[in-house]
């Protein structure tokens, strides 16, 4: 039994996914969002996968804590992005116990293609933990997937409005949203929403 239900299917496909995720750039993946985010400060990449985003932020001069619970994915990330600015960690939503134990907050917290793996109860449990890791004045960026769930995976269709409602009690307010973005891998039945929130200072 997988200790992290949302990671089902990723270990077996890690080699293929490492190639697929590298097929489009960090800049393309976050078009329209990067201009909103701070140009300095530490980044927390939750569900860092094979490290595309961690590598992109490190290349821009950020120190990055890359959190990835699937060992096979994390191994690819460490191999593909051997940057001293990136620290890799094994931890997972909804608790993020190891990250929270450090007592740090972050200027940028990324949840790229991650939040959709949590069921409703997990999302309610996770949001206060994630919000506590965003520094005052910092940013939380979330992408939400819409479309059929691949065999062997665990995903949920989540709206921007639900996510905002969960985040608002913790001082996170919308600064950017975009619905219906095409899939970077050109899957015609998949679209994405993007939400960026800022925490009050």
Residue with tokens 């593909």: 80
pLDDT digits (tens, 9 = 90+) for 24-39: 789 988 988 999 999 9
Q: How many residues does the chain have?
A: 201
pTM of the prediction?
0.89
- Give the total number of structural domains in the chain: 1
Tell me the C-alpha to C-alpha distance, in Å, between residue 143 and each of 51, 79, 185.
16, 25, 15
Cα(61)–Cα(71) distance, rounded to whole angstroms? 26
Q: Is 60 helix (H, G, I), strand (E, B) or coil?
A: coil
The SS3 call for residue 165 is: helix
How far is residue 70's CA from residue 48's CA, in Å, rounded to a whole number?
10
- Tens of pLDDT, residues 110-166: 999 899 999 999 999 999 999 999 999 999 999 999 988 878 878 999 999 999 999
Range of the domain at 127: 5-199
The CATH number covering residue 124 comes to 3.40.50.150
Beta bridge partner(s), residue 200: none
Q: How confident is the model at residue 1 (pLDDT cuts 50, 70, 90)?
A: very low
């Amino acid at each position: 039994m997988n200790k992290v239900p949302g990671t089902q299917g990723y270990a077996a496909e890690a080699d293929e996914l490492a190639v697929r995720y590298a097929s489009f750039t960090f800049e393309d993946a976050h078009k329209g969002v990067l201009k909103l985010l701070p140009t300095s400060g530490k980044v927390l990449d939750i569900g860092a996968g094979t490290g595309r985003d961690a590598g992109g932020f490190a290349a821009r001069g950020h120190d990055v804590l890359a959190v990835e619970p699937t060992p096979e994915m994390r191994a690819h990330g460490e191999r593909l992005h051997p940057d001293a600015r990136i620290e890799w960690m094994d931890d997972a939503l909804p608790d993020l116990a190891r990250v929270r134990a450090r007592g740090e907050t972050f200027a940028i917290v990324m949840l790229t293609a991650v939040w959709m793996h949590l069921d409703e109860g997990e999302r309610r449990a996770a949001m206060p933990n994630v919000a506590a890791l965003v520094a005052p004045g910092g940013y939380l960026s979330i992408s939400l997937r819409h479309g059929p769930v691949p065999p062997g995976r665990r995903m949920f269709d989540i709206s921007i409005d639900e996510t905002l409602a969960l985040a608002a009690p913790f001082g996170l307010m919308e600064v950017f949203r975009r619905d219906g973005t095409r899939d970077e891998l050109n899957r015609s039945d998949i679209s994405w929403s993007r939400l960026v929130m800022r925490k009050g200072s």
